[in-house]
Amino acid sequence: MTSVNTAIKLSSRAEAEGIQPGTRSCSPDLAREPWTFDAAVGYGPGASMGDSAPAATPRQPVLPEEYRTASEAELDRRIRAAQETLGDRLVILGHFYQRDEVVQYADFVGDSFQLARAATERAEAEAIVFCGVHFMAETADMLSRPDQAVILPNLAAGCSMADMADIDSVTDCWEQLEELFGTEPDEHGRVPVIPVTYMNSSAALKGFCGDNGGIVCTSSNAAAVLDWAFERGQRVLFFPDQHLGRNTAKAMGIPVEQMPMWNPNKDLGGNTELSLQDSRVILWHGFCSVHKRFSVAQIEKARADFPGVRVIVHPECPMPVVDAADESGSTDYIRKAIAAAAPGGTFAVGTEINMVNRLAAEHPEHTIFCLDPVVCPCSTMYRIHPGYLAWVLEALVRGEVVNRITVDGAVAGPARIALNRMLAVRP
Ligand code: 13P
Ligand code: SF4
């Protein structure tokens, strides 16, 4: 099967030549290489292209021309040569959503939780090259040894959802909640609010949770983390992903009416005091533009076209989609569910296209397709390309560290507390 990258390029060329393309993509700009967008503000083409990027979004410096013009074969030769030279001094981590052209070089591929753990387990490596997005590299920096350098090949590989909650707005929200609820525990020793941040958030927000009795979660442990939080608090402030928060809490039996949404642009988040008093989970107004694309209509069509199809979606999808699906779970859950199924299954998957197509290639015994018929990868995962990987690796061979991600000690200390609380929670 051709990779997503190749498919998008072939289809754009076909469109330019007036030939009916076999694939529809969300943006013709996806046929251009990611460095075309390094000088521009914003996330680049793909699912997040309509989201507003904060002014302080990191920019990637100009990639030297030799890496922009090198052929695929040339980049492959250079990346492999650098890996060979660096040996155990280097580890390359890759998220499931990375393009195949990058995943082929990773020493370890996983979901955000597994990658956070992997960063703690490579003691021999001097450099951890993280083919994923910014918050993942920050987490790896905080969990690895101080002398290990964590490198993000393209600094513009952020996460539009993570950018939807910033430390100032969350602190402002927290102050309003403290004013409303006070800080005294109830008769069971539970404080009024426990902050829970999704892994997809800045180190500053993880630090905020560490400082305020809170914790981090990922999509693979969100229910266990909410249990942890409810043992210690009367309610939870969950940021930035409203959908993961709502889907997880709903599955635990919390009524949707007790999950008001907090809009940071409105007083009391746009809520009344009464609705906040009655709340169990206060949901931040954030979402993932990849997973927002999935719909109940797509599920209905998959069921009509493929009777008996098993629909599995990521919990970042909106609640009606998760409710209509057969099951939901993290990227690793999806991977394991498909691997464990008896041959001959048909799966409609609601998550990022690079991962879905890779699963389809790895499991020819099943029919696997993405619920969304339009090819629309995660804009920020897409910013990593073999050209950037070759650039950072060859710099390492010369003894230079470029694109290092470091979290300031004042933030990393409390953030590590919140991360370690998560790592200690047993699902
Ligand atoms: P996982 O935690 O399932 O890897 O998901 C990370 C992510 O960014 C999903 O959009
Ligand atoms: Fe962020 Fe969504 Fe991309 Fe995951 S898929 S990195 S949540 S924008």
- The domain locations on the chain are 33-160+381-410, 163-288, 291-375
> What architecture does CATH give domain 291-375?
3-Layer(aba) Sandwich (3.40)
Q: pLDDT digit of tens for each residue in the chain (427 aa)?
A: 677 777 777 766 666 666 666 678 899 899 899 999 998 889 999 999 999 999 888 999 999 999 999 999 999 999 999 999 999 999 999 999 999 999 999 999 999 889 988 988 988 899 999 999 999 999 999 999 999 999 999 999 999 999 999 999 999 999 999 999 999 999 999 999 999 999 999 999 999 999 999 999 999 999 999 999 999 999 999 999 999 999 999 999 999 999 999 999 999 999 999 999 999 999 999 999 999 999 999 999 999 999 999 999 999 999 999 999 999 999 999 999 999 999 999 999 999 999 999 999 999 999 999 999 999 999 999 999 999 999 999 999 999 999 999 999 999 999 999 999 999 997 6
Ligand 1 pocket check for 354: Cβ under 6 Å: no
Bin 270: left if φ > 0, else alpha if -120 < ψ < 50, else beta: left
Expressed in angstroms and rounded, the spacing between residue 377 Cα and the centre of ligand 2 is 9
Ligand 1 pocket check for 330: Cβ under 6 Å: yes
Best mutation site among 135, 288, 292, 316 for ligand 2, i.e. most ligand atoms within 8 A of its Cβ? 288
Task: Give 115's contacts (C-beta < 8 A, 6+ positions apart).
Answer: 93, 95, 108, 130, 132, 136, 140
Q: Ligand 2: which atom is nearest the Cα of residue 48? A: 8
Nearest to 63 by CA among 198, 153, 163, 161: 153
pLDDT digits (tens, 9 = 90+) for 360-405: 999 999 999 999 999 999 999 999 999 999 999 999 999 999 999 9
Expressed in angstroms and rounded, the spacing between residue 114 Cα and the centre of ligand 1 is 11
33-160+381-410 and 291-375 in the same fold: yes
The CATH number fitting domain 33-160+381-410, selected from 3.40.50.1820, 3.40.50.720, 3.40.50.10800, 3.40.50.970: 3.40.50.10800
What's the pLDDT score for residue 112?
Answer: 87
Q: Ligand 2: which atom is nearest the Cα of residue 95? A: 6
Ligand 1 pocket check for 5: Cβ under 6 Å: no
Atom 4, ligand 1: residue with shortest CA distance? 111
Q: Which structure tokens are listed for 212? A: 């305020």
Ligand 1 pocket check for 331: Cβ under 6 Å: yes
Cα 21–Cα 317–Cα 136 angle in degrees, nearest 5? 90
What's the pLDDT score for residue 256?
Answer: 98
Best mutation site among 152, 293, 381, 382 for ligand 2, i.e. most ligand atoms within 8 A of its Cβ? 381
What is the arrangement of strands in the sheet containing 310-313, beginning at the earlier edge strand? 327-328, 310-313, 346-350, 367-370
Expressed in angstroms and rounded, the spacing between residue 158 Cα and the centre of ligand 1 is 13
